[in-house]
Amino acid sequence: MKKHILTAIFSGMLIFLGGCSDKLDLTEFGNSVRDTTPPGDTTYIQLNPVWSGFNNPQDILIGREPFIYVADTDNDRIVMMRLDGTIAGALPIKHPIAIAQDYEFNLIVCGQFDTVLSTGALQTYDAVYKIDLVASNHNIASAPVTRLLPRVGVADDFNTALKYTGVTVLYDNRIFVTRKGPINNNIFKLPDNSILFFERRIIGGVKKDTLIGRVPLIEPLGTGLLSANNLSSIAAFNRRNQDIVVTLTGENSFKTQWFTFIETTEFSGYISKLQPGNADLMRVGRFEQPEDVAIDNSGNMFIVDAQKDSVFVFNSSGDEAQSFGGSSMFNGPMGVAFYDRTLYIADTKNNRILRFILSTNI
């Protein structure tokens, strides 16, 4: 078997922006009860006010500053908010659906862009953007925007069937992008269902995010482990490793999977961290339409299921902690984030952001 090695080079000291992000000590979730409707003094309490004024928001991110970033999808903008909920600014991006931030405070966004064809017709393609917040001193409205995908001059990138569904950044600033599409058995091109990765490379004396290829050994049409069958989101751990957690909405028995990277003398690549039957996360049929996952500094995982209108919480061993929701609380939630004991939900079809804390933290 050909050995595939993903190099990992630490990106160095972070830029200091007048203050440091708080460390997220979320170990209390590891001790939460496992019932969907927890009893007594361990329940989620909704915080007020509800944050409204959005139109079909499909993702939310707590940045490293920290600011809050909302993919306000049908308002075609990224909204930057302070922790108190006041709006700090906004940047027009067509149909944003997923947001990540690297360790140099750049935002990476999955959205769309329009272009005029040679026939004069207007055509829309999915796209991935990089937003340089440092260059604008965190004034998001004037931040420079670079398009990473589709690449200029690469005809295969300009395909209306390709959909970029999620994005995350590893500790060394490599960017992972989940993609889906209908062509997955052409030996002459990468399968549409893939996890693409970018590395920082110096080209012409300039450091650029360069598309290297797809993460290998992930089955594009798999119905079991190590699958890329209709990927809907991806999240990395906030630590020096290469592990990722993905959610899938395609035909698969395990719609949330944890890929861990190993390197031995005989093999280098991703394997499944958890096996069926040894963790609640791997229970067949646990999810119907998981759309996003967030991971805290203790390795706890928060997953929103748009079909079940619910939030599922798992500890760092993949065992279910405290989950909640239902149609009386959410309507098609598609984004989740966690910061300082507060859980943030993009309640997509209700056009709002909801916040929750555990009652034990009041």
CATH of the domain at 313: 2.120.10.30
For 225-262, the pLDDT digits (tens) are 999 999 999 999 999 999 999 999 999 999 999 999 99
pTM given for the model: 0.87
Per-residue HEC secondary structure of 220-272 comes to CCCCCCCECCCEEEEEECCCCCCCEEEEECCCCCCCEEEEEEEECCCCEEEEE
- Kindly state whether residue 205 falls inside one of the protein's structural domains: yes
pLDDT grade for 359, boundaries at 50, 70 and 90: confident
Distance (Å, rounded) from C-alpha 344 to C-alpha 210?
32
For 48-69, the pLDDT digits (tens) are 999 999 999 999 999 999 999 9
pLDDT grade for 42, boundaries at 50, 70 and 90: low
Residue in the block written with tokens 């984004």: 335
Distance (Å, rounded) from C-alpha 42 to C-alpha 28?
10
Domain total of the chain:
1
- Kindly state whether residue 8 falls inside one of the protein's structural domains: no
Look at strands 107-116 and 122-131 and give their pairing: antiparallel
For 185-232, the pLDDT digits (tens) are 998 889 999 999 999 998 888 889 999 999 999 999 999 999 999 999
Above 80 in pLDDT, residue 36?
no
- Kindly state whether residue 14 falls inside one of the protein's structural domains: no
Task: Decide: 77 and 131 in contact? Cβ < 8 Å.
Answer: no
- Kindly state whether residue 2 falls inside one of the protein's structural domains: no
- Kindly state whether residue 6 falls inside one of the protein's structural domains: no
Tell me 30's DSSP state: G
- Kindly state whether residue 21 falls inside one of the protein's structural domains: no
Above 50 in pLDDT, residue 13?
no
Distance (Å, rounded) from C-alpha 101 to C-alpha 61?
8
Task: Decide: 43 and 318 in contact? Cβ < 8 Å.
Answer: no
Which residue type does 261 have?
F
What pLDDT does 311 receive? Answer: 98
Domain that holds residue 295: 27-361
Task: Decide: 114 and 122 in contact? Cβ < 8 Å.
Answer: yes
Task: Decide: 230 and 250 in contact? Cβ < 8 Å.
Answer: yes
- Kindly state whether residue 22 falls inside one of the protein's structural domains: no
- Kindly state whether residue 233 falls inside one of the protein's structural domains: yes
Above 60 in pLDDT, residue 102?
yes
The enclosing H or E element of 349 equals: none
